[in-house]
Amino acid sequence: RLFPVDPPRPAAKDFAATPDETLAETIDRARRLSTTEDPDRVPMILTLAAHDSPLVRYWGMIGLAAAPADAGVSALARGLGDPVKAVREAAAWGLRQLLIDNRGWKTVATAAGSDDDRTRGSLARALVMRVDGVMPGIGIDWNQLTAVISAMMLKDPHPAVRAWATRASWN
């Protein structure tokens, strides 16, 4: 935290959906919930990350990154293949945040083997991170991570996957 003040902790009832909630109200609720940084709110955020509206899904992905919890990893991995680019970008950014916190590395190998070009491309983009490569206790074997990035760089049929994986290999 940049400020020495404890942030307010809103109650879960502040984010409860109302029966007659409009899409605009749902988007606003998702945006407000995404800034709580509270892992206890992840179950609420997960429902938003699977919403029909891409704007709600976008804020859901942002919220999963801001409230780091292992429960959010699979939703972020699904978001890597979302048909809406903004949601994919938010999911890639969110997964990167969790990977930096050493959460979700097992998902990397699984997503790299996906048949979906968007999922693999977004995953390669998530692996572009400028952090200490010695990360304490990284949750994936270095040889496995190297093999994943090498396969994405050299063997993947999609040009975006190859390009992002090449960039990830330099970071």
Cα separation, 105 vs 59, in Å, equals: 23
Q: pTM of the full predicted structure? A: 0.87
Residue identified by tokens 């916190």 is 101
Of 28, 86, 90, 83, the closest CA to residue 64 belongs to 90
Query: What domains does the chain contain, in order, with CATH numbers?
Result: 12-170 (1.25.10.10)
* Per-residue model confidence as pLDDT tens digits over 38-72: 888 999 999 999 999 999 999 999 999 998 899 99
> What percent of the chain is predicted at pLDDT more than 70?
93
Q: Which residues, at least 6 apart from 94, have a Cβ–Cβ distance to it below 8 Å?
A: 61, 62, 64, 65, 72, 76, 79
Q: What is the pLDDT of residue 32?
A: 92
- pLDDT tens across 6-47, in order? 767 788 888 888 899 999 999 999 999 998 888 889 999 999
pLDDT by residue (tens digit) across 76-116? 999 999 999 999 999 999 999 999 888 888 888 899 999 99
